[in-house]
Homo-oligomer: A and B are copies of this chain.
Amino acid sequence: MPKTAGIILIGNEILSGKITDANAAYLCRELRALGVDVRRISVIPDEIDLIAREVATFSRDHDVVFTSGGVGPTHDDVTIEGVARAMDAKVVRHPLLVGILERHFGAQLNDAHLKMAEMPEGGQLVGHESVRFPTILMRNVYILPGVPEIFRRKFESIREQFRDQPIHLRNVFVAIGEGTLAEHLNGLLLAFPALLLGSYPEFSNPEYKVKVTLESRDQSYLEGALAEFLRRLPAEALVKVT
């Protein structure tokens, strides 16, 4: 079975519309390219109990889980405590993280900074070959920060370990509307029931009316489905295949 993933975004600032999250869309694209199936994204407030409940559920339901946000030194950074509670673990300081903070902050180092050395007991540090600050992994949960630049750098340092069997994709752009297209799609799915088939209308693009996506982990199954779809489609409906 290919890997499944869940993403939990933690932050009042997203729910209150102060910032637009960029991490989930980035991670969905990256994981798809790696062949990982993202099954669910959840956005929740900076509240320990909610985080604990969501992390426990996501960790059980997915092969890997990524959290984004809530890992700084202030009062609203409660992700570590939430993940620890989800796993029934204590929060402890990791000496390697303390050392990094000591070197970085020197004489300015205070208790707030040291909060960033905390992790759930039993967790491990990963990916610190290529980034200054390692990523905390607790069982199958990767704890990433909300700041997009750092989120990306950290993910890049661990991305290869998630690589799975690729998902192949073909796009067919058509000049007919979804209503007319529907019967061709239904027919195609009867012949290729394992095909991942998407249909996305485009109202503002004069070139085509619908983008149809065909996907499979089996390249020859995909090409067979594509041929069948093109055979079913009225010739004048086809705009292009990519």
Contacts and interface: CB of A to CB of B under 8 A. Distances in A.
Interface stretch (A31-39, A156-164, A234-242): A31-39
Interface string A94-119: 00000000000100101011010000
A21 B12 contact: no
A202 B107 CA distance: 23
A191 interface: no
Interface residues of A, number: 61
Interface string A2-40: 000000010011111111110011001111110000111
Contact of A74 (B15, B41, B181, B215): B181
Given A20-B25, A28-B15, A180 B43 contact: no
Given A40-B43, A178-B74, A25 B16 contact: no
Given A72-B178, A110-B180, A112-B183, A14 B42 contact: no
Contacts of A15: 28, 38-41
Given A112-B182, A179-B108, A186-B75, A200 B19 contact: yes
Interface of A: 9, 12-21, 24-25, 28-33, 38-45, 72-76, 105, 108, 110, 112-113, 115, 147, 149-150, 167, 178-183, 185-186, 189, 196-201, 203-204, 213, 215
